[in-house]
A = this chain, B = another copy of it.
Amino acid sequence: MAIEIETPSVGLSKVAVSETHGEDSPYFAGWKAYDENPYNEAYNPSGVIQMGLAENQVSFDLLEEYLEKHSEATNWGNTSCCFRENALFQDYHGLKSFRKAMASFMEQIRGGRAKFNPERIVITAGATAANELLTFILADPGDALLIPTPYYPGFDRDLRWRTGVRIVPINCDSSNNFEITPEALEAAYNEAESMNIKVRGVLITNPSNPLGSTIKRSILEEILEFVTRKNIHLISDEIYSGSAFSCTEFVSISEVLEARGYQDAERVHVVYSLSKDLGLPGFRVGTIYSYNDKVVTTARRMSSFTLISSQTQQLLASMLSDVEFTQNYIKNNRERLRKRYEMIVDGLKKAGIKSLKGNAGLFCWMNLSPLLEEPTKENELALWKSILHEVKLNISPGLSCHCSEPGWFRVCFANMSEQTLEVALRRIHDFMNKRECMKTIV
């Protein structure tokens, strides 16, 4: 009998075999359960309702109306020169008309309280790419970015996987509504130092994911003072800026900078995208807006690896330079999201569940800690599993967002119809009733 010598399989890189892609986390188990048994009003009314996906589906009709009225936005106006030019355009500066339209849109979202220069806009295929790109530019492998908890689970992969950069958490908790404090910033910085890790910057998401609330002006000023003192960078991911429920509650870092004559602005970089505000995650439209010339130049060169399709740039240049459309969109989108938010918060309240007071985003930050037997991660996970399998709702557990306090959950409300949201709230209500009954009996 011949001894079979196995040919050694050809090796892959350390990055390839590492688990920093994050897909083995329990977080993805919820997706799986949904995929295997997805709720459908007509065909599968007892299926799992997806409440773990931060998508904005409440304003599509406004986009569809625009497209119907403006076919030239998608067919190159039936002029051959337009198609050719557009198809050939691979300049990493990005279409000028598109950059102008994005700058204009970002200004409108901020109620004109900050100006954006189209020449500082760098295009990337989504905010995922923008955040990774900035990380490559601002930090070396082994360095760290400080990020307030709880934070978007995707950051673990986006900021660390290929870059080799670390995340050191800035711990926030419910004692003060999860607000970022100077003490927490200092503590995180010192923690990094004690591990001999060089801190290169702070990354905030404003409005916050998963909190669903905006950061106060005074806190932005404190953060700016902190990064200036440490001579490090500040990235402000403002991907939900157009999803604040009212125009005036959201304060952008750009407004704070403008108010002080752009002093110390060279360390600040804003990330934006149309995936949430406009509900276009498939189109891969992200931008980096940096006040630092060298960062703009370098980011532009690096964006060669992740440019936006010129076809898509053209469509959006058209749409976003239509001020009538954008003003109407921004206004209506805010109102509809606020309405959804109120609906879910009221529904939860009736079921005896409290949420963090929110004012932005596509989700609310729900407090189920009273339901935990003990305030532990394991208990939170057990509760999450029963909500997934019994209540048939996929919601995101706080621990996947690195929340230091167990029992909090992110619940999305904009990726479904009002009817479906109603069904979800009823299920939660019944679930809470059952628990009340069980408590009484015990």
Contacts and interface: CB of A to CB of B under 8 A. Distances in A.
This protein's copies in its complex: 2
A388 interface: no
A266 B75 contact: no
Given A21-B301, A84-B60, A279-B88, A12 B138 contact: yes
A311 B318 CA distance: 15
Interface stretch (A125-133, A177-185, A322-330, A355-363): A125-133
A304 B280 CA distance: 15
A280 B10 contact: no
A284 B129 CA distance: 15
Contact of A87 (B74, B84, B87, B282): B282
Contacts of A309: 125, 282-285, 308-309, 311-312
A33 interface: no
A75 to B, nearest CB: 5
Contacts of A282: 86-90, 309-311
A360 B302 CA distance: 30
Nearest to A415: B88
Interface string A262-296: 00001100000001000111111100000010110
A256 B46 CA distance: 52
Bin chain A's interface residue count. 35 or more
Contacts of A231: 7-8, 10-11
A369 to B, nearest CB: 32
Given A132-B305, A233-B10, A304-B128, A75 B83 contact: no
Nearest to A9: B266
B13 A138 contact: yes
A15 B74 CA distance: 38
Interface of A: 7-16, 21, 23, 55, 57, 60-61, 63-64, 67-68, 71, 74-76, 78, 80, 83-84, 86-90, 125-126, 128-129, 132, 136-140, 143, 157-158, 161-162, 200, 231-233, 266-267, 275, 279-285, 292, 294-295, 298, 301-302, 304-312, 315
23 contacts: A10-B232, A10-B233, A10-B266, A13-B136, A13-B137, A15-B137, A16-B138, A16-B294, A16-B298, A60-B80, A63-B83, A68-B78, A71-B75, A89-B281, A125-B307, A129-B305, A161-B302, A162-B162, A162-B302, A162-B305, A282-B310, A306-B306, A309-B312
Given A75-B75, A282-B310, 4 more contacts: A12-B295, A60-B87, A309-B309, A312-B312
